[in-house]
């Protein structure tokens, strides 16, 4: 195993309270029940959420408001990296890892800056692909940009859609930050901290292996 591909929200960054607050504000703007909207948002992508909870509204308008609220939250919200994230990312060779997120790169960079996490050379975000998770496309693109074969990639995920994405890409998938294992993961850790030494163990610098 030479490369590690990380999901961001829920895997490296604890953003649950931020996501709940953003969706609650969004729901209030449309006169909807915040808890009901959030439960749908947890299981679906934004456009699918709008179709279920606000079918009578213009989806592009709904998305614009969501983006506005998310950008404001990045500027003013409180964020924290999961225990072990900093040690892990600083311990990996820069060319051996990437981020694969359903969010947008500018938000990821701001969150990493605020939490002290290093930013990798490769970030595959929502704007990078036509198909998001659970499609394999995001993880396959990250591997291609790293010059890696899918079989040489380890995916670190917390959510079912991300796990399916990594599995469909033909990669090894480890689950973190959940009390029970997500269906399909090859290995499960209740917290990221527990996974850190095992991730570092299985990664070698691709620049070094290329010269052997």
Instruction: Provide the β-strand partners of residue 173.
Output: 155
Active site residue 7: yes
List phi, psi (to 5°) of 19: -65, -40
What does the alpha-carbon distance between residue 136 and residue 138 come to, in Å, rounded to a whole number? 6
Structure tokens at 6: 């990380």
Three-state DSSP at 142 gives: helix
Q: Is the dihedral of CA 148, 151, 157, 161 positive or negative?
A: positive
Burial annotation 136-163 (CB, 10 A radius, 16+ → b, else e) = bbbbbbbbeebebebebbbbbbbbbbbb
List beta partners, residue 153.
3
Known catalytic residue: 73? no
What are the catalytic residues? 7, 9
């Amino acid at each position: 195993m030479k490369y590690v591909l990380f999901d961001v929200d829920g895997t490296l960054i604890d953003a649950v309270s931020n996501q709940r607050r953003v969706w609650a504000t969004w729901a209030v703007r449309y006169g909807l029940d915040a808890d009901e909207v959030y439960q749908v948002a947890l299981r679906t992508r934004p456009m699918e959420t709008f179709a279920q909870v606000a079918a009578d509204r213009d989806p592009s308008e709904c998305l614009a408001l969501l983006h506005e609220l998310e950008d404001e939250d990045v500027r003013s919200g409180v964020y924290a990296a999961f225990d072990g994230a900093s040690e892990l990312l600083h311990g990996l060779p820069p060319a051996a890892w990437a981020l694969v997120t359903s969010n947008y790169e500018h938000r990821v960079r701001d969150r990493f800056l605020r939490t002290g996490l290093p930013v990798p050379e490769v970030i595959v975000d929502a704007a990078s692909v036509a198909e998001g998770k659970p499609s394999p496309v995001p993880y396959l693109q990250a591997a291609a940009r790293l010059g890696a074969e899918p079989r040489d990639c380890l995916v670190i995920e917390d959510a079912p859609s991300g796990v399916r994405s990594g599995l469909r890409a033909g990669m090894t998938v480890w689950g973190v930050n959940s009390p029970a294992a997500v269906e399909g993961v090859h290995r499960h850790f209740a917290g990221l901290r527990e996974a850190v030494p095992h991730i570092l163990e299985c990664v070698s610098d691709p620049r070094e292996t290329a010269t052997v």
